[in-house]
């Protein structure tokens, strides 16, 4: 779930990130990574997340606190990671893979002769991970995908995200990450296919759809297909002109194609609000 918050922030899905952090604070108010995310979000939008900590602390009070009592006001949050009593966060499998992979890559960089043997070692390690994680453990597969992506093991990352995408609640995020990995692999065709799968997901909401249309526009732009890119950037710009850098991308795309973009009609369906978007529109509050 912590990795999901990072993904939402990367995609400009601030509302979803806030909701998830609020939920994490309610259940894990003393977890340092959760608190760090709360501070990160608070610095971005000014939202006060202390209320979640306050509700957790109330369970420790032996007597109710009067509303007019000075102690009723929540204390300002100031995390301290030097406190010896603070428990160490549990190592996640994705973090372990990332740490081991980074160590192996660093060793290989120092000695080219080790590259082949280290590749073999890491392949065996990945094989062991694959054998120990159930296909239905979608959260772990998503975390592994993030770890492999950070290590530039893009094909491995895509395989993990494909498994995570079987979970309806993770499908859109996983498909988006698959598309991003494919783009980093210079595979625009598959990137577009992943983004379009996400756009047609039955549980998609408006902001997620616009984030995907932005990514589709970026994919077309990276492939030099500026006419198609402009169509998608225009759609995102109409919905929210402050969404990431869509205005700059739209202006840049128009410079390449000029006014009056004429592209294939089969894109119109992708630019039209889907049934799922309409059904879930009420779930979105605009930032």
How confident is the prediction along the chain (287 residues), in pLDDT tens digits per residue? 566 666 666 666 777 777 777 777 677 655 555 555 665 565 555 554 444 444 433 433 333 434 444 433 333 323 333 333 333 334 455 555 555 556 555 655 665 555 556 677 677 777 788 788 888 999 999 999 998 898 888 999 999 999 999 999 999 999 999 999 999 999 999 999 999 999 999 889 888 999 999 999 999 999 999 999 999 999 999 999 999 999 999 999 999 886 444 545 555 556 666 666 666 665 544 43
The residue whose two tokens read 């039955």 is 202
pLDDT of residue 278: 67
Instruction: Tell whether 84 is covered by a domain.
Output: no
Instruction: Indicate whether 98 and 172 sit together in one domain.
Output: yes
Q: Answer yes or no: do 180 and 208 share one domain.
A: no
pLDDT the model gives residue 1: 59
Burial of 211 (0-12, 13-18, 19+ CB in 10 A): buried
Q: Which of 147, 168, 191 is the last residue of a domain?
A: 191
Specify the pLDDT at position 250. Answer: 95
Q: How far apart are CA 194 and CA 172, in angstroms?
A: 9
For residues 176 and 214, state if they share a domain.
Answer: no
Return the pLDDT at 123.
78
Provide the number of structural domains found in the chain: 3
Q: State whether 44 and 108 are in the same domain.
A: no
Angle in degrees, CA 81, 2, 169, rounded to 5: 165
Contacts of 227 by beta carbon, 8 Å cutoff, 6+ apart = 257, 261, 262, 263
Q: What is the extent of the structural domain holding 19?
A: 2-57
Do both 227 and 154 map to the same domain?
A: no
| Boundary of a domain, candidates 127, 156, 191 | 191
* Position 69 in a domain: no
pTM above 0.75, yes or no: no
Residue where a domain terminates, one of 172, 191, 210: 191
């Amino acid at each position: 779930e912590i990795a999901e918050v990072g993904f939402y922030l990367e995609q400009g899905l601030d509302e979803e990130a806030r909701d998830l952090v609020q939920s994490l604070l309610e259940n894990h108010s003393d977890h340092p990574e959760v608190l760090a995310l709360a501070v990160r979000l608070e610095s971005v939008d000014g939202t006060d997340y202390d209320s979640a900590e306050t509700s957790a602390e109330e369970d420790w009070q032996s007597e109710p606190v009067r509303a007019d009592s000075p102690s009723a006001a929540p204390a300002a949050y100031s995390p301290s990671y030097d406190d010896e009593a603070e428990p160490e966060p549990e190592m996640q499998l994705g973090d372990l893979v990332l740490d081991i992979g980074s160590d192996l890559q660093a060793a290989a960089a120092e000695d080219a002769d080790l590259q082949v043997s280290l590749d073999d070692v890491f392949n065996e390690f990945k094989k062991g991970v694959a054998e120990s994680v159930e296909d239905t453990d979608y959260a772990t597969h998503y975390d592994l995908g993030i770890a492999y992506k950070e290590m530039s093991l893009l094909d491995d990352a895509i395989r993990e995200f494909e498994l995570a995408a079987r979970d309806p609640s993770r499908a859109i995020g996983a498909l988006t990450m698959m598309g991003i990995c494919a783009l980093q692999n210079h595979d625009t065709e598959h990137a577009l296919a992943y983004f379009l799968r996400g756009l047609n997901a039955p549980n998609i909401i408006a902001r997620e759809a616009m984030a995907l249309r932005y990514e589709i526009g970026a994919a077309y732009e990276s492939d030099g297909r500026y006419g198609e890119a402009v169509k998608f950037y225009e759609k995102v710009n109409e919905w929210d002109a402050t969404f990431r850098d869509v205005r700059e991308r739209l202006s840049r795309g128009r410079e390449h194609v000029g006014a009056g973009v004429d592209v294939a009609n089969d894109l119109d369906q992708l630019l039209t609000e889907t049934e799922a978007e309409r059904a879930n529109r009420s779930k979105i509050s605009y930032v």
